[in-house]
A and B are shown apart, each in its own frame.
Chain A
């Protein structure tokens, strides 16, 4: 139980329309990620689903019933905030029990659920501490604990990992993914980090200026980006986008080629350029190449350690079957 449907939803702040009419269905049990650059409206969209903001026009349905005018508490959703939003004056136990207390659940049931959540999230060691005494990762777990005790029909996550350091982020990412597998509950997750989107999502919704650019599985987005925006946004390092003459050769306004789809050859490649920066990671080498006559910088990923450095001439061979072609309107040409 946890299907969320947005029908012709719009949102305006004053005269500014931040979300033009938008349709989206999030299936029950699905892990959906809203991804996009900051200011693209992804957090606003999440808050509309949560009921923390009113939609201007349109409808939101949760499990087939209209929830457009329901207050947040009545929507059966739980939310994990970017700042965790723990109640600083309550112990971890009280924080987690708070939604159950508000629901006037009986004491024994509250204890049972809090203990269960504490066990799932390994919170038992600091269950009686205050949030102020916890580390970022621990606070994150408490926030999740507070969400799961309610047994909501869907979880909403608003950039939950952005306040954690890099190492912790990877760990928490996996914990959340695992939690999703275990609970099999709908999760809607907002992030600006496309790596989080690619690694966690069943379905990614790429947003740009309030508009859905593409919806699909991570690999669909990777393989067949619908337009240049998605092409440039999904994938790391970014796809090389080339305009002009070279694109015209392929009957397109723009062509895109991912760094991992360009081979470095000894000589006689299709393209040549000079190495600006070479990043030697051991397993891979990333080249940022100038003077190709194609674009300011072309990024190439070579497997293994390739011993070219700054100023060297480099020969490149793009794999033509991995080429993406886009029209003048930015849309993919099939």
Chain B
């Protein structure tokens, strides 16, 4: 509904919008800046905005203190595998719902979403016991499965909304052309839904990356991802602003960079496919 406005109006709008944007972004910016300060500069009063001695010292100390590489690798593996696995299970389900809808389709979809509303704490202990029983505690495989399951409803829902935009006639054409169901999915549906699938993968990767209940409660050392890495700084011992900032920056940087490069899909994905 954008319309042309006078340059004066546009200038005012621009100023206000940038001010709000910077205000919202400021905590992140401040964290990144602080990560390059010395501890003294980090708590200096009044606060120093840019005029400090830039240093990488904090990053060096954080790296020394903990094995950042292992946490990062765990995060990538857990978020990545759980998302891909979720997608593989969700694509056929979303196909069914979008192209062979029945009276129960909407109910099933809403039921799936409602499983996400089950409070995790309510089932933490049973899952904990099952994990011990199966030897999955503090294992990446266990977390992959759990995160896949908690994000599955969202993945199914998003794919469903994207698939519904694809005209059914094209899939029927493929069927007339002799494609089997598998070929129909691989050669016709998936390539046509690539933007939607990319958005889905991306958003759920971020959700899995940032998930902090199961990752904190089901890991100790081996499988701990970046959420656990950063949580270790919540102890008073970690109350050094510059080092905390360096660790925080290291925890969020991969996602920020990923988000920067895939803005378009991400914006689409962030709406969960629900709004056009």
A residues in contact (CB < 8 Å) with B? 50, 52, 71-73, 77-79, 81-83, 85-89, 98-99, 102-103, 146, 150
Contacts and interface: CB of A to CB of B under 8 A. Distances in A.
The winner among B172, B177, B178 for most chain A CB atoms within 10 A is: B177
Chain A facing B: main interface SS: loop
B183 interface: yes
A237 B59 CA distance: 85
A87 B175 contact: no
B212 interface: no
A12 to B, nearest CB: 15
Contact of A73 (B167, B170, B175, B192): B175
B181 to A, nearest CB: 10
A20 to B, nearest CB: 24
Contact of A83 (B169, B174, B176, B192): B169
B175 A85 contact: no
A52 B179 contact: no
B191 interface: yes
A135 B268 CA distance: 29
A52 B172 contact: yes
Give the contact-size bracket for chain B: 10 to 19
Contacts of B179: 73, 98, 102
B77 interface: no
A85 B170 contact: yes
Interface string B180-219: 1001000110011010000000000000000000000000
A83 B173 CA distance: 10
Contacts of A89: 191-192, 194
Contacts of B170: 85-88
Contacts of B187: 98
A89 B190 CA distance: 10
A86 B177 CA distance: 11
Nearest to A71: B175
Nearest to A158: B169
Interface of B: 167, 169-170, 172-180, 183, 187-188, 191-192, 194
A79 B174 CA distance: 10
B169 A73 contact: no
20 contacts: A52-B172, A52-B175, A73-B175, A77-B176, A78-B177, A83-B167, A83-B169, A85-B167, A86-B173, A87-B173, A87-B192, A89-B191, A89-B194, A98-B179, A99-B178, A102-B177, A102-B178, A102-B180, A103-B178, A146-B173
Contacts of A85: 167, 169-170, 172-173
Given A87-B170, A102-B183, A150 B177 contact: yes
A146 B177 contact: yes
A146 to B, nearest CB: 7
Contacts of B176: 50, 52, 72-73, 77-79, 99
Contacts of A87: 170, 173-174, 188, 191-192
A87 B172 CA distance: 11
B105 to A, nearest CB: 15
Given A73-B175, A89-B191, 4 more contacts: A83-B167, A85-B172, A102-B179, A102-B180
B172 A98 contact: no
Contacts of A98: 174, 177, 179, 187
B169 A99 contact: no
Contacts of B194: 89
A99 B177 contact: yes
Nearest to A52: B172
A99 B172 CA distance: 12
Given A52-B172, A81-B173, A73 B191 contact: no
B138 to A, nearest CB: 43
A92 to B, nearest CB: 14
Contacts of A88: 170, 192
